[in-house]
Amino acid sequence: MRKLVLAVAAAAVLMATVAASAQSPIIIKFSHVVANDTPKGKGALKFKELAEKYTNGKVKVEVYPNSSLYKDKEEIEALQLGSVQMLAPSTAKFAPLGAKEFEALDLPWLFKDEAAYAKAMKGPVGKWLFKKLEPKGISGLAYWDNGFHMVSSNRPLLMPDDFQGLKVRISGSKIADQYFREVGSIPQIMAFSEVYQALQTGVVDGCENTASNYLTQKFHEVQKHITISYHAHLQYAVIVNSKFWNGLPADIRKQLDKAMDEATDYTNSIAVKENEDALAEIKKSGKTTLHTLTDDQRKAWQTAMAPTYKWAKGRVGQEVLDLIAKELDIKMN
Ligand code: LMR
């Protein structure tokens, strides 16, 4: 009798477990390094909201902002291992994945404005770049915008000579490394989560980033001068672990694709305004001095950084440069 009771109890536990796991949601861990109150942070939360709504709660998205789960380099390893399912790193950080072609997007003064950037990414360039990720077990879902970079230090950066000897934090791209070297500075790759302290303690003298990142990380509080140079563009690729994504039930994946499309439109529609608002906030804070380049100063930067284009051929290859040039209707030499 006792054996029977035990067997019935065990069967009940088993059935309850099966029932619970049939109902328990699919978890998507979405890790990123910026604050919630930025274009990417808001985009991730929008995706969470829509994904959970369209799948009727069958999917739960856990967003981990501000490097709270992983830092830059670790998060890409974690994605490949399947410890997280979704990331949106800046495309300047893809070389460790063996996809250095993405760095072509970091060329200085490549996109004359936001419209040029959007046009290039909507065309074949974006898709061609995503193909480079497939052999690594990673699928690209979307590109998210975060506008143009400013640059800062504790001295005004107005002419190329002002960069001489300056230790500048960069996020990973060898193209950025190159254009900063061409103006005489000393670039150094560093995780985003370490930048504030490095600027504060003088481990580095300066950095580049968008207004929304300056504001939310308080970089402007530890940099006396910011130049609104808009010399390069910052964009993200939303990426997933392919095995995870392709293994999802087809109807769920369809809903998630819809959620991602809408979250992408949303993010790309707010990026410019978010950065304008952040810039206004930085100005209002009075904690740093903002500089705008004159035409002559901008031309001097462009001339000094121009050799990056020739150098880039050996780094990213001719094919991607040709694709971008065609899309933007420009000549790259
Ligand atoms: C950086 O590391 O500077 C940026 O790429 C951070 C981000 O994700 O915007």
**Distance of CA 296 from the midpoint of ligand 1 (Å):** 29
Q: What is the pTM of this model?
A: 0.93
What backbone phi and psi angles, to 5 degrees, belong to 23? -90, -20
Q: Name all residues whose Cβ lies below 6 A of ligand 1.
A: 33-34, 90, 146, 171, 192, 209, 213
**CA angle (113, 116, 117) in 5-degree steps:** 90
Contacts (Cβ under 8 Å, ≥6 apart) of 187: 168, 169, 170, 176, 177, 180, 181
Beta partners for residue 194, in sequence order:
none
As a whole number of angstroms, the distance between CA 263 and CA 49 comes to 9
**Distance of CA 226 from the midpoint of ligand 1 (Å):** 17
Residues of the chain with pLDDT under 70: 1-22, 333
Q: Which atom of ligand 1 is nearest to the CA of 38?
A: 9
pLDDT in tens, 140-199: 999 999 999 999 999 999 999 999 999 999 999 999 999 999 999 999 999 999 999 999
pLDDT in tens, 71-85: 998 999 999 999 999
As a whole number of angstroms, the distance between CA 330 and CA 333 comes to 10
**CA angle (298, 229, 156) in 5-degree steps:** 90
**Distance of CA 234 from the midpoint of ligand 1 (Å):** 8
* 26-31: strand order across its sheet: 59-64, 26-31, 86-87, 233-241, 138-148
User: H-helix or E-strand containing 269?
Assistant: helix 250-285
pLDDT in tens, 182-205: 999 999 999 999 999 999 999 999
As a whole number of angstroms, the distance between CA 228 and CA 212 comes to 13
User: H-helix or E-strand containing 304?
Assistant: helix 295-305
Which of 148, 234, 235, 274 should be mutated for ligand 1, with most atoms under 8 A from CB? Answer: 234
As a whole number of angstroms, the distance between CA 225 and CA 153 comes to 6
Query: Measuring CA to CA, how many Å separate 159 from each of 109, 169, 211, 228?
Result: 16, 19, 21, 13
